[in-house]
Amino acid sequence: MTHFICRQCATQYADSAAPPQSCPVCTDDRQYVRWAGQAWTTLDDLRQSHRLKVADEGAGITGFGMEPAFAINQRALLLQSPAGNVLWDCMALLNDTVVDEIRARGGLTAIAISHPHYYSTMIEWSDAFGGVPIHIHEAERDWVRRPGKAVTFWSGETLKLNPEMTLIRCGGHFPGGQVLHWSGAPGGKGALMVGDILQVVPTRRHVSFMYSYPNLIPLDAPTVKAIVARVEPFAFDDIYGAWWDLAIRGGAKECVARSLTRYLGAIGAGGR
């Protein structure tokens, strides 16, 4: 029995004797099946074909990614806090080097993942650190393709992970899409970890919002207004997106406000 991993989205599935017939994560409108057709790999194979990339993304924030690029190619972020280290989002590769790097930085107390495209090998990660909880909004329960005791579904609009970190359900890209607010982020002004629930764009002066990024399906005005309203009560000066160097450092809250106005204008919905 094997835990197969989809080559297109990196979702790991419950154990089976043969690969699944298809990947529901990829056949959904928000993703796509690779042009060469559905294909599968395993964690053992990835350990042979890929290597770890580790880089500081900011003070107290370490990024973990894969080389060469794999699937959606997001990177995970280790948030180092006196209140307890949290892994934000996930990637497929997990090996002894990853575990040693994280333990050298104080280990893990919890994992939180923005939305189903980044669940990846989350059960493997939790197991490697003693079964730490994986916090996912209950609206995404049906997208968990490999269940595990560590998966903790929460309800409502916010969840306090520790005295410094709060999950916020924003919706949009997925109904249970969540971001993480870190009030104790170095610098003292707060930070948001957003995955691509709010997408940091290449200029790094705005964010944007989509139902499907690869298939270019935008969100409607009420949904985008709701996303911005849900982060508005929180103080933050920085935003960290899902890929290397996609971050807004300084003035991020003002960037979100400007981005809302720009987005609404672009879809013909007027101002705020």
**143-160 mean pLDDT:** 98
Give whole-number Cα distances, 52 to 93, 98, 133, 193, 241, in Å: 7, 7, 23, 21, 19
How far is the C-alpha of 197 from the C-alpha of 265, rounded, in Å? Answer: 20
Q: What is the pLDDT of residues 107-129, one digit of tens each?
A: 999 999 999 999 999 999 999 99
Give domain status of residue 195, yes or no.
yes
Average confidence (pLDDT) over 228-256: 97
Cα angle 232, 162, 119; round to 5: 80
Could you tell me the pLDDT band of residue 90, with boundaries at 50, 70 and 90? very high
Amino acid, single-letter form, for residue 152: T
Decide if 271 is inside a domain.
no
Q: Strands 151-154, 134-137: parallel, antiparallel or unpaired by DSSP? A: parallel
* Span 183-218, pLDDT tens digits: 999 999 999 999 999 999 999 999 999 999 999 999
The answer as to whether 11 is a domain residue is yes
State the average pLDDT for the chain.
97
Measured between alpha carbons, how far is residue 114 from residues 39, 106, 198, 235, 254 in Å?
25, 23, 10, 19, 22
Q: Indicate left, alpha or beta for 78 from its phi (over 0: left) and psi (-120 to 50: alpha).
A: beta
Per-residue pLDDT of 26-42, as tens digits, reads 999 999 999 999 999 99
Q: What is the mean pLDDT of residues 93-106?
A: 97
Would you say residue 172 lies in a domain? yes
Q: Give how many domains the chain has, as a whole number.
A: 1
Q: What's the pLDDT at 223?
A: 98
Domain presence at residue 246: yes
φ, ψ of residue 3 to 5 degrees: the values are: -90, 95
Burial of 241 (0-12, 13-18, 19+ CB in 10 A): buried
Domain containing 141 — which CATH number? 3.60.15.10
Structure tokens at 63: 């990024």
Q: Does 114 map to a domain?
A: yes
Residue 48 is predicted with a pLDDT of 98
Q: How far apart are CA 266 and CA 112, in angstroms?
A: 32
Q: Is residue 235 part of a domain?
A: yes
- Which pLDDT score, from 0 to 100, does residue 271 have? 56
Average confidence (pLDDT) over 64-78: 98
Mean pLDDT of 123-142: 98
Taking the CA atoms of the chain, what radius of gyration do you get in angstroms?
18
Task: Identify the domain containing residue 21 by its residue range.
Answer: 5-266
Supply the pLDDT for residue 272. 52
**Given a cut of 70, is residue 229 above it in pLDDT?**
yes
**Would residue 272 count as lying in a domain?**
no
For residue 270, the model assigns a pLDDT of 73
